[in-house]
Amino acid sequence: MQNELTTLTYEIELKPGDKLNLPESILENITTGRWVITIQQKAEEPKSTRNHDAFLNGYAPEDEGLYDDYPSR
């Protein structure tokens, strides 16, 4: 048997009262051999905050009055 590094990653969400049941696809991939199974809590993803910095940084003083001829909404 050749040694081959295989990494399987599954994301599982448990709600209150749920118990961990490993997906059948994991159990099918585990065969004879030595295994290391690591379970860790997923880090919270940062919430995206929209800002308009790119627009404001792209506005130059010489652009002042550029849109004065356009009617107001």
User: What confidence score (pLDDT) does residue 26 get?
Assistant: 79
Domain residue extents for the chain: 1-41
Q: pLDDT per residue over 9-39, tens digit each? A: 778 788 899 988 887 887 888 888 888 788 7
* Helix, strand or coil, per DSSP, at residue 7: coil
- Whether the pLDDT of residue 7 is over 70: the answer is yes
Instruction: Name every residue whose Cβ is closer than 8 Å to that of residue 70 and which is 6 or more positions away in sequence.
Output: none
Q: pLDDT per residue over 32-56, tens digit each? A: 888 878 877 777 777 777 776 666 6
The 3-state secondary structure of 22-62 reads: CCHHHHHHCCCCCCCCCCCCCCCCCCCCCCCHHHHHCCCHH
